[in-house]
Amino acid sequence: MLYVCLRFPLLGLEALPGAPLSEPCALIAQQQVSLVNAASRLAGVTEGMSLTTALALCPSLYCQPQQSECEQAHWQRLALWAYRFSDDISLSPPNALLLEVSRSLKLFGNLQRLYRALLSAYRKRGLQLNIGLGNTPLAAELLSLQGIRPAHLVNAEGELKRDALKRALASLPCRQLPLPSAQLEALHNMGLRRLGDVLNLPRKQLLSSFDPVMADFVARLTGRKQDPRQRYQPADVFVSERQFDGGLFQSDQLRFPMSAMLKELEVYLRLRQCLNRDLHWTFHYLSGERQHWKTPVNHRHFHRKNLLELIALQLEGFTLAGAVEGITLECREFVSLEATKQQLFDEHREATEQGDAQLRLINSLQLRLGDNALQQLKIDDRVLPEQQGVACPVSDYNCEHRDHEASSEALRPSLLLPTPLPLQRTTTGLVWQGPLEILQGPERLDSNWWQQRQVRDYYIARHNDHGLCWLFKDCLSQQWYLHGFFS
């Protein structure tokens, strides 16, 4: 097993909407500074300092109380983003993620490449990140606190060096260990200043000199005891937010942040194996007003490029009501995505591509004409064929309806006559503009017993010009009718 701990030391500040992180910033709790960034430290502001002293040292200090809800939501988004590197992720309070990456090495080649990909992905988003590597979850978490470069723990082949890992752990100060204060005080009183001093103690002395908490800690750190962590599971509702310093004034400026938010949605959908049925946008203006915006979605597969084209079409001619300081994307309706089977024949693939193109056309027309402007027939649960076709808005006619209808084994004609035509019956058989040869049937349909009962036996027949017809015999009147044609 191989674990990577991603620690975000400025998580509380980075989660603040619109915080100017390039300038001195601080979180305040009970009139004291609880978290500062690098610019604040350069100005002399440190954690534990009173707010009055901090403002005296740095009058331009950006101060905000801790916003737990924003911090939790930001933490969840970071966990979702990490799924591109591993499928085994757990939250490590208060500000870290724990990834099991032994299976990911086949994808990235070696540990060094994985480390570079992790560092690049998060720093591109302007996040401060410390990475720790270890053969146990606790070892990775501790090394992320120390800020030891993982490059010092990896050999030229990109593999973890066990001896270097032991030396790095041994050098950790005991005051950084996640232990109760009583245990830390006991370590200090015994003259144990480094973790290596603790690890060198015989097990019997460890058990006799400290509480069982210490022995359990050492066993989980060294791997002698299992340290299971609860896997992260994404929320049932997808929410993504972006904040903009000073606001955006042009609708074209919204495309790039919208693209990034759709990329997050793509990861979320892949993880949950589902498809979204809605895209609800909310524009937050500097004036405090909000504007809600919906992008209609009808698709069988998530294609970010196609959705961006729809959004670009929707933004054409759209005028913002003011400066936009934030955007929220929310998706609440999802349908399960069954595992797609590999298509064996080219015509199947072509049919799928044609279906996707049709859905893109429907989305574009809805944007131009409105959600309810397009109507489509769906199959109702009624028994009589002439009553089954019901017009409904395309937005209400999703893939579940289409898949359910496509799975029906009963053959139905592509053209149904508005009124069945009576047929003549001669000594040689049925006649309609020529003789009819019955090929298949009957299929009994019995309905409307509570009003005017209808009992019909349906047949598939072939005309003398080789066309296929749909016939039925009215079992009550013994009259034959032509009801439709197959394509």
- Give the number of other Cβ atoms within 10 Å of residue 115's Cβ: 21
Length of the chain measured in residues? 487
Whose structure tokens read 């050999």?
A: 155
Query: Which residues, in sequence order, are bridge partners of residue 459?
Result: 471
CA distance 254 to 319: 12
Tokens 């290596």 belong to: 196
Which residues is 429 bridged to in the sheet?
Answer: 426
Residue 465 phi, psi (nearest 5): -95, 15
DSSP secondary structure of 54-85: HHHH-TT-EEEE--HHHHHHHHHHHHHHGGGT
Question: Each residue's pLDDT tens digit in the chain (487 positions)?
Answer: 889 999 999 999 998 877 888 899 999 999 999 999 999 999 999 999 999 999 999 999 999 998 888 898 889 889 888 888 888 999 999 999 999 988 888 888 878 888 888 888 888 878 888 888 888 999 999 999 877 776 677 776 667 788 888 888 898 898 888 888 888 888 888 889 999 988 888 888 887 888 888 888 899 998 899 999 999 888 888 988 888 877 888 888 888 899 989 988 988 888 888 888 888 999 999 888 999 988 877 667 788 888 888 888 778 777 888 899 889 999 988 888 764 444 434 444 454 555 566 666 776 777 666 667 777 777 666 778 877 776 777 655 454 444 444 445 578 888 888 899 999 988 888 999 889 999 988 888 887 777 778 889 999 999 988 889 999 999 989 999 999 999 8
Cis peptide before 94 (omega within 30 of 0): yes
Query: Is the Cβ–Cβ distance between 53 and 67 less than 8 Å?
Result: no
State the Cα–Cα distance between residues 482 and 479, nearest whole angstrom. 10
CATH 3.30.1490.100 occupies which residues in the chain? 238-336
The domain made up of 238-336 has a fold known as: Dna Ligase; domain 1 (3.30.1490)
Strands 415-422 and 324-331: unpaired
Helix (H, G, I), strand (E, B) or coil at 444: strand
Question: What pLDDT does 158 receive?
Answer: 63
pLDDT score for 367: 67
Tell me the three state secondary structure of residue 313: helix
Q: Which residue in the block uniquely carries the two structure tokens 């936009």? A: 324
Q: Which helix (H) or strand (E) holds 418?
A: strand 415-422
Give the residues across from 281 on adjacent strands: 293, 329
Q: What is the pLDDT of residue 87?
A: 84
Hunting for tokens 């015509």 — which residue is that? 347
pLDDT at 163: 86
Helices 162-170 and 137-146: crossing angle, nearest 10°? Answer: 60
* pTM of model > 0.85: no
Locate CATH 3.30.70 in the chain. 3-16+67-222
Determine whether domain 3-16+67-222 maps to CATH 3.30.70: yes
SS3 210: coil
